[in-house]
Amino acid sequence: MKKVVAYVGSRNKNSSTLKLVSSIKDAVLAISSSEIKFNIYTPNNCNIMPDDGSASAFKTGVDKIEEARIDDSLQLKKEIKDCDFLILASPTYAHAVSGDMKILIDRITYWNHIFYLANKPGQIIVTASGNGFLKVAAYIRQILENCGVVFCDDVIQTDSRILSDIDITNSALTIVNQLNLSNEVFVPSAGAEANFQHLKARYINSNKSFFEPNYWKKHGMFECENLKEYFQKVLGEKK
């Protein structure tokens, strides 16, 4: 069974972002011929605490809040790691992601340096009254591409462009198509590829007792010429 996980960064009880993601979920379940589990998380059903600021996860790979189990990050991070398609949906707040989306992004920033979500397809969904939404989508894309996520086209809804049933069906079709491609190697963005080369050069001679260079060594990342080759390796190990 294929798994889709969506995190919606709105705690609005009448969230338009949640309504949009729920409509896409219904369309995905209606279209797909195979069984799909589609879990939607929001700050109202999943408590993610702000980062503690220690930056220790970059050195140790251990997220202390997750380890202490004082919020729901253990479950959400596992769901994100294990899913076949990831959706990150945020309203636009003051031309930026919502505070709740930023909290989640802060908590997974250390995944940026290890391409922890290598070869995972995803979609960014942004809602707004009408300003600043491009910056929001670009920001989520930049951070998550550096975790290894490969995004299809963004879904944007504003007050003057409420998505139609056809738009929702198209978005659902994209997700179902990507799920059907999950035995394929996706093409990383130029930015993610450049970041892979940058980090490779930085870690190759670093002390391997630190988490990040150690992770690269353990996962055979130094032996990969490029990020696409690493995606291929990750896919091969998944099969």
Ligand X SMILES: Cc1cc2nc3c(=O)[nH]c(=O)nc-3n(C[C@H](O)[C@H](O)[C@H](O)COP(=O)(O)O)c2cc1C
The site for ligand X (CB under 6 A) is made up of 10, 12, 15-18, 91-95, 127-132
For residues 9 and 121, which CB has a smaller minimum distance to ligand X in the complex? Answer: 9
From the list 80, 54, 82, the residue with the least C-alpha distance to 68 is 54
Q: How far is the CB of 94 from ligand X (least distance, A)?
A: 5
48-60 as b/e, with b when 16 or more CB fall inside 10 Å?
Answer: beebeeeeebeee
Residue placing its CB nearer to ligand X in the complex, 82 or 159: 159
Pick 154 or 193: Cβ nearer ligand X:
154
Q: Any residues with CB less than 8 A from the CB of 236 and at least 6 apart, and which?
A: none
Helix or strand run (H / E) with residue 233? helix 227-238
CA dihedral of 224, 228, 229, 235, whole degrees rounded to 10: 120
To the nearest whole angstrom, how small is the minimum distance from the Cβ of residue 6 to ligand X? 13
Residue 195 beta carbon to ligand X: minimum distance, rounded to whole angstroms = 28
Residue 87 beta carbon to ligand X: minimum distance, rounded to whole angstroms:
14
Distance, CA of 61 to chain centre: 18
**Smaller CB distance to ligand X: residue 15 or 174?**
15
